[in-house]
Amino acid sequence: MKILLVGEYSRLHNSLKEGLIALGHNVTLISSGDGLKQYPSDILLNSKIKSSFILNKLNSYCIRLLKKDFIKSEYTFQFKKVLPELKGFDVVQLINEDALFLEPKTSITLFKRLINQNKKTFLLSCGEDFTTVNYFLNPNNGYSVLTPFLNNQASKAQSSFSLKYVTPKYKKLHEFLKENTNGLISSDLDYHRAYVGYKNYLGLIPNPINRSIFKDEIIPNSDKICIFHGINSSSKLKKGNYFFTEALLKIKAIYKNNIEIIEAQNLPYKTYIKSYNKAHIVLDQTYSYDKGYNALEAMAKGKVVFTGAEKEWLTFYNLKEDQVCINALPDVDYLVKKLVFLINNPKTITAIGLNAKMFVKKQHDHIEKAESYAKTWHKN
C-alpha cells in the first residue's frame, strides 16, 4: 500500500512508518515535527517564527492582541504548497483532529481536498480532541488531564490547549472528520474509554514501539539509585508533575546523598531520550489510566516507570499491580511510599525493569502493530 501519515506528536507515526516499511509498504510522513520535540518527517513544515526568540515573542503578542497566530499561517502556506503532490495514496491517516496545528476552518478546507484526492482516510485519537475532552470534563468518568482544571488547580487559561477542542469551531472540525473519514482508531485506554459506542470507532491499537532504536542498555552498577523526572512546561499541570516534585523533596530529605535525582525540562526528543539512560526509575505522569509514548519508551529501556496503570489497564493486559510499572497516583504520600520501597529493594527494580522490557516487546512491537493498522485500514 501507499500510505500518507499526517502529523506527529510523540513518535507514534515514526514508529508506525518504520513498521509499515518493514512489511513492504510505501510510507510518507508529513508534520511540523511537533515544535520543540523535533521529530523527523519526510516532509517537514518549518516555522521561522518558532525558531526565532524575537519573532516568537512578537507572535505571542499578535495572538493576544489580534487573535492571529502567524506560525499557523506559515504551516498553512507550506501545506497548501505540497498538497497537489499528496495524492494517489491508498490510505491517509491523521494523527489527531488538529493534526497540522491550523485554524479549524483552514483544516476543514485542506482536509477536504486531501480526502478527495486519496482513497481512504482514517483518524487517530492519541491526544485530546472534541470527544475525549468532553469525556474528561465529566468527573464521573474518573481522573484525567483535565482533573486539575476541574479541581481549580489549573485556570481556564492554563487549560486552554485542551478546552479549545470543545469550542464551536473545533466542534465543526470534529463533525466534518466524523462524517468524512473511514473510521477512528485509539492508541491507549485513556482515549478508548471515551470512544466506546462512538460511530465509526474501529477500536484500540496499542502504541507501536520500535525497540531496535534503543540499545540493550545495562544500567551501570552504582550504590545510588538514580531517579529521573522530565518536565514539559506546557503540560506539567495536566501531567501532575507537581506531585512528583513534592515527592522528590521528601525522598531527598530521607536519603540525602544516597540517591541521585535528575530533573530535566523542555528538552528536544533526541536529547530527552538520552537524558535518562543512567536512571533506574523514571517519573512520567499521574493523571492517566494508561501510558503514553514517553513511558513506553522508558519501559523498553528497562526502566521502572511511574505512569498510568489503573485496574482497567491491568485487566486489559492481564497483569498484576506493579508487575511491569508503577501506577502513579496524584498523591504525594503514596508516591513517596512507592519510591521508598523501590530504593530499599533494588532487586525489585531489576525485576520490574526486565518485566517492562518484555511487556513492550510482547504488546507494543512496531511491526506487529503496523500489521494491525494495515488490517484495520483494509477492512474499513
Q: What percent of the chain has pLDDT over 70?
A: 97
State residue 220's pLDDT score: 56
- Contacts of residue 260, Cβ cutoff 8 Å, sequence gap at least 6: 222, 224, 225, 226, 227
Q: What is the pLDDT of residues 307-347, one digit of tens each?
A: 999 999 999 999 999 999 999 999 999 999 999 999 999 99
State residue 217's pLDDT score: 62
DSSP 344-364: H-HHHHHHHHHHHHHHHHHH-
Which CATH number, 3.40.50.720, 3.40.50.2000, 3.40.50.1010, 3.30.230.10, labels domain 2-208+365-379?
Answer: 3.40.50.2000
State residue 232's pLDDT score: 84
With a threshold of 0.95, does the pTM exceed it? no
State residue 255's pLDDT score: 93
**The CATH fold of domain 212-363:** Rossmann fold (3.40.50)
Q: Write the CA distances from 180 to 184, 200, 203, integer angstroms.
A: 11, 11, 18
State residue 288's pLDDT score: 94
Q: What share of the chain is helix, strand, coil (3-state, %, to 5)?
A: 50, 15, 35
Q: What percent of the chain has pLDDT over 90?
A: 75
Site of grid cell 506559515: 74
State residue 208's pLDDT score: 97
State residue 218's pLDDT score: 58
Work out the average pLDDT over 138-150.
94
Strands 26-31, 326-327: parallel, antiparallel or unpaired by DSSP?
unpaired
Q: What is the pLDDT of residues 97-139, one digit of tens each?
A: 999 889 999 999 999 999 999 999 999 999 899 999 999 999 9
State residue 33's pLDDT score: 82
Work out the average pLDDT over 37-45.
88
State residue 72's pLDDT score: 87
Work out the average pLDDT over 278-286.
94
State residue 213's pLDDT score: 86
State residue 309's pLDDT score: 96
pLDDT, mean over the chain: 92
Could you give the CA distance from residue 234 to residue 241 in angstroms, rounded to a whole number?
11
The residue ranges of every structural domain in the chain are 2-208+365-379, 212-363
Give residue 81's identity as a one-letter amino acid code: K
Least confident window among 41-55, 144-158, 213-227, 366-380: 213-227
Q: What is the pLDDT of residues 247-273, one digit of tens each?
A: 999 999 999 888 999 998 888 877 888
Could you give the CA distance from residue 264 to residue 275 in angstroms, rounded to a whole number?
8
Work out the average pLDDT over 154-165.
92
pLDDT surpasses 80 at 51:
no
Terminal C-alpha separation, the chain = 14
Could you give the CA distance from residue 358 to residue 369 in angstroms, rounded to a whole number?
16
State residue 239's pLDDT score: 92
Strand, coil or helix: 123: strand
Work out the average pLDDT over 260-288.
89
Q: What is the pLDDT of residues 185-219, one digit of tens each?
A: 999 999 999 999 998 999 999 999 999 987 656 56
State residue 219's pLDDT score: 63
Task: Identify which has the larger pLDDT, 91 or 270.
Answer: 91
State residue 269's pLDDT score: 79
Task: Identify which has the larger pLDDT, 34 or 232.
Answer: 232
Q: Write the CA distances from 186 to 10, 22, 91, 197, 325, integer angstroms.
A: 14, 22, 17, 13, 22
State residue 262's pLDDT score: 92
